[in-house]
Chains A and B, each alone.
Chain A
């Protein structure tokens, strides 16, 4: 078992990094595969580094500590009619802001305005020398200095430990409408992805359900405008409008991965719409299921325990259920080693390949 430290302040957090030869920051471990490291690595929990530092609804920005649960943030934003447009995952499971950034996960809503990388503005983090550093900014527009906030998105805690984050948020459209469009095969789903993403409707989400038999298309905007847009979409492809609760269940099920085998492997794959049929085919041959999101730009595959992930054919990041972080070997560039050495000269944080 790994030792787990739970410091209470950013200063203690930094002190622990300085004092520990091998360490990995963790949030609520809702993606346990990302922190399955050898037993000699201590885990540095952000559990008590928690809370919103400032929220400026008029500025469309907030700053919160890394351990702040996304659920708490979402609630506070909702009170002001705002939201995180990239639909973070595993909110009910307790996912934290820092963990969501480090894992680089964006949900269905990333289709319209972009993913988590497009909303992060600033970070405070502890580098491998135990220094607390603040990079990026606190305003919605900033071009000063290197964009380490973006680099830390998806960095899996391997380059530094996030302590505090500043985000941009958006006003939430007053209306949302979800359409369920049945498809007979994956090629039909891809055709809907391409046509809808290129349409005038500005879809808010465009996902192939794990059942593989329907596309969920969500539109958002002023309430009065949506029925007419929905009617036009349903004139093009047969389907139905999902009413409030059914729609909420559909999206919360995807958000929490409740469709996935809890004992199996869950992996993220970045891809393009053209690659979707082959991926879904490969996953089915492994007795798995796939949720394809953001119009075919990202997929989440659930596979039985022990499945050979290499057979997916595409690079995958294992969120849970596998001892391997990656299914295929990743090329190691000289620059990735040099940047790792610049931020973490003593290799306190594990390598990105383990």
Chain B
């Protein structure tokens, strides 16, 4: 892999070669324009790119990628910039390709339950467009009102319903992609089945290292007829964890099983006036969904299990508004925790479900040792933790302590047989932990595959692999969109 050329100045040949790819007014290079793209959802990092390209069509994206290839110019594809792992952090000697204007839903086929969309389409817009047909798009990251499908595909985004419905990759049926080599390929189709290797599966979660998706064929699912959502408050986290074990052992398959700890509850109360049973240190949210006859039977079983798990109080949602209120408290919890502290880091490691209690205990111990507070909101059904480490970047050394704590938590997840990331991806944030999870041969194998897609190493360089090239500066505070209450971290 040759190292990308370092170039600067708007009159240099690289800019002219990009200007052939799209009109000059959609190539942004003034400092005030660049600053909006310096960071993503991982606000601790910042880098200023050389320019921002704002294509409006797939043809322009292809032309840009080919221009980058001929000029050996690094590029970072970006949707709404909500990555929590720094996945869309720019590179200082490269450009950002902002895909927000490729936001057309190209077709919806309600009979066959698929949607074909451009990469800049907002996740929630797919469900909005599908709703008149009684359909929805299942993956629901907490940032779904702002994050894009292109970003979801690049990072294999998850959400609260992964145990039953899987992640983004389980819903991508077809892709049209421009690779970093400039080659255009189409994989998969409108069918839910395929012949030969699963190229869509390989591309989904590539973290922008292979190329840029131009069209994505998504599977839609019929909206469940009925939901039964229960919120239960417990005196201890262990009790809530034990309730999860009992639910899983019972043979039920809930659509979502979530837990929030005391600090997260405190924050959700302050932020969205969420109402929780008094005196509880942990809240469990369980949701069943399906045909009304099935849910009616399953809910009796679930209610029995919860009643015998010793809750302070169990509150089933009596109507759609109460269900939405439960989810609002849950989905706002992370940003809400941010209000308790000037800065925070969120991790998304995974542990085997049976070790959740032990993992939470150790996170508590490690936080105390580090002298930092840590809130927990997590997808208990699939063991996906979200420890949120609070710190104040103004206090010397505190960011370093927070990062060290985050590292200890990730290594604990690997030791327990889990993963360093359940849904946020490696990005720039966890690249030095990849080798905790994979051996040198495995990393070398992935690098060979990356080189097959991108021999020059120009597509999102510095992400995923250890000792990357990306330059970044530390930054503090909430993302502007978080301050505005538009995006949430999870």
* Among B57-65, B97-105, B421-429, B480-488, the stretch in contact with A: B421-429
A263 CB–B CB distance under 8 Å: no
Picked from B163, B191, B200, B290, the residue with its CB within 8 Å of the CB of A297 is: B191
In the complex, the answer to whether B249 meets A343 with C-beta atoms within 8 Å is no
B360 CB–A CB distance under 8 Å: no
In the complex, the answer to whether B201 meets A143 with C-beta atoms within 8 Å is no
Which residues of A lie under 8 Å from residue B278 when comparing CB positions? none
* Among A131-139, A209-217, A244-252, the stretch in contact with B: A131-139
A154 CB–B CB distance under 8 Å: yes
In the complex, the answer to whether A194 meets B206 with C-beta atoms within 8 Å is no
Interface residues of A in 254-303 (CB under 8 A from B): 268-274, 294, 297-298
In the complex, the answer to whether B297 meets A197 with C-beta atoms within 8 Å is no
Which residues of A lie under 8 Å from residue B421 when comparing CB positions? 142-144
Which residues of B lie under 8 Å from residue A51 when comparing CB positions? none
Within the assembled complex, what's the spacing in Å between the Cα atoms of A138 and B413? 12
In the complex, the answer to whether A335 meets B181 with C-beta atoms within 8 Å is yes
Within the assembled complex, what's the spacing in Å between the Cα atoms of A127 and B269? 53
Report if A151-B113 is in contact (Cβ < 8 Å); known contacts: A139-B418, A229-B291, A297-B191.
no
Within the assembled complex, what's the spacing in Å between the Cα atoms of A59 and B425? 22
Interface residues of A in 138-153 (CB under 8 A from B): 138-153
B252 CB–A CB distance under 8 Å: yes
In the complex, the answer to whether B452 meets A342 with C-beta atoms within 8 Å is yes
In the complex, the answer to whether A221 meets B294 with C-beta atoms within 8 Å is yes
| Residue of A whose beta carbon sits closest to that of B189 | A270
Within the assembled complex, what's the spacing in Å between the Cα atoms of A138 and B434? 15
Within the assembled complex, what's the spacing in Å between the Cα atoms of A134 and B441? 9
Which residues of A lie under 8 Å from residue B424 when comparing CB positions? 143
Within the assembled complex, what's the spacing in Å between the Cα atoms of A115 and B206? 21
Within the assembled complex, what's the spacing in Å between the Cα atoms of A298 and B156? 25
Which residues of B lie under 8 Å from residue A313 when comparing CB positions? none
Within the assembled complex, what's the spacing in Å between the Cα atoms of A269 and B194? 8
Which residues of B lie under 8 Å from residue A144 when comparing CB positions? 419-421, 425-426, 430, 434, 437-438
B139 CB–A CB distance under 8 Å: no
Within the assembled complex, what's the spacing in Å between the Cα atoms of A149 and B448? 16
In the complex, the answer to whether B297 meets A139 with C-beta atoms within 8 Å is no
B11 CB–A CB distance under 8 Å: no
Interface string of B444-468 (1 = CB under 8 A from A): 0110111111000000000010000
Within the assembled complex, what's the spacing in Å between the Cα atoms of A278 and B222? 27
Which residues of B lie under 8 Å from residue A159 when comparing CB positions? 197
| Residue of A whose beta carbon sits closest to that of B416 | A139
In the complex, the answer to whether A145 meets B426 with C-beta atoms within 8 Å is yes
In the complex, the answer to whether A150 meets B201 with C-beta atoms within 8 Å is yes
Q: Looking at A127, A225, A229, A336, which has the most chain B CB atoms within 10 Å of its CB? A: A225
A103 to chain B, nearest CB (A): 10
Report if A202-B291 is in contact (Cβ < 8 Å); known contacts: A170-B253, A274-B112.
yes
Interface residues of B in 315-353 (CB under 8 A from A): 350-353
Which residues of B lie under 8 Å from residue A297 when comparing CB positions? 191-193
B158 CB–A CB distance under 8 Å: yes
In the complex, the answer to whether B183 meets A333 with C-beta atoms within 8 Å is yes
Which residues of B lie under 8 Å from residue A274 when comparing CB positions? 111-112
Report if A339-B449 is in contact (Cβ < 8 Å); known contacts: A141-B350, A144-B421, A154-B194.
yes
In the complex, the answer to whether A56 meets B354 with C-beta atoms within 8 Å is yes
In the complex, the answer to whether B198 meets A352 with C-beta atoms within 8 Å is no
Report if A110-B452 is in contact (Cβ < 8 Å); known contacts: A139-B417, A171-B253, A198-B111.
no
Within the assembled complex, what's the spacing in Å between the Cα atoms of A172 and B384? 23
Which residues of B lie under 8 Å from residue A59 when comparing CB positions? 352-354, 383
Which residues of B lie under 8 Å from residue A181 when comparing CB positions? none
How many chain B residues touch the partner (CB < 8 A)? 89
In the complex, the answer to whether A142 meets B253 with C-beta atoms within 8 Å is no
Report if A147-B156 is in contact (Cβ < 8 Å); known contacts: A199-B222, A221-B291.
yes
Within the assembled complex, what's the spacing in Å between the Cα atoms of A147 and B200? 10
Interface residues of B in 169-211 (CB under 8 A from A): 169-170, 179, 181, 183, 185, 189-202, 204-206
Report if A154-B195 is in contact (Cβ < 8 Å); known contacts: A139-B418, A143-B423, A144-B421.
yes
Within the assembled complex, what's the spacing in Å between the Cα atoms of A331 and B284? 51
Report if A115-B192 is in contact (Cβ < 8 Å); known contacts: A143-B167, A145-B437, A335-B452.
yes
Picked from A58, A222, A226, the residue with its CB within 8 Å of the CB of B248 is: A58
Interface residues of B in 87-105 (CB under 8 A from A): none
Q: Looking at B163, B192, B352, B442, which has the most chain A CB atoms within 10 Å of its CB? A: B192
A334 CB–B CB distance under 8 Å: yes
B251 CB–A CB distance under 8 Å: yes
In the complex, the answer to whether A146 meets B248 with C-beta atoms within 8 Å is no
In the complex, the answer to whether A134 meets B294 with C-beta atoms within 8 Å is no
Which residues of A lie under 8 Å from residue B448 when comparing CB positions? 342-343
In the complex, the answer to whether B196 meets A155 with C-beta atoms within 8 Å is yes
Within the assembled complex, what's the spacing in Å between the Cα atoms of A155 and B435? 27
Which residues of A lie under 8 Å from residue B430 when comparing CB positions? 144
In the complex, the answer to whether A56 meets B352 with C-beta atoms within 8 Å is yes
In the complex, the answer to whether B446 meets A139 with C-beta atoms within 8 Å is no
Report if A117-B158 is in contact (Cβ < 8 Å); known contacts: A59-B352, A140-B383, A170-B253.
no
Within the assembled complex, what's the spacing in Å between the Cα atoms of A151 and B314? 44
A-B contact pairs, 26 of them (CB 8 A): A117-B170, A117-B201, A133-B441, A140-B162, A141-B158, A143-B422, A143-B424, A144-B421, A144-B437, A145-B434, A145-B446, A147-B156, A147-B204, A151-B198, A155-B198, A171-B252, A172-B251, A200-B225, A202-B222, A221-B298, A268-B195, A273-B112, A294-B193, A297-B192, A316-B195, A343-B445
5 nearest A-B residue pairs (beta carbon): A150-B201, A225-B293, A222-B297, A338-B452, A298-B193
Chain B contacts to A: CB under 8 angstroms? 110-113, 133-135, 155-156, 158, 162-164, 166-167, 169-170, 179, 181, 183, 185, 189-202, 204-206, 222, 225, 245, 248-249, 251-253, 290-294, 296-298, 350-354, 379, 382-384, 417-426, 430, 434, 437-439, 441-442, 445-446, 448-453, 464
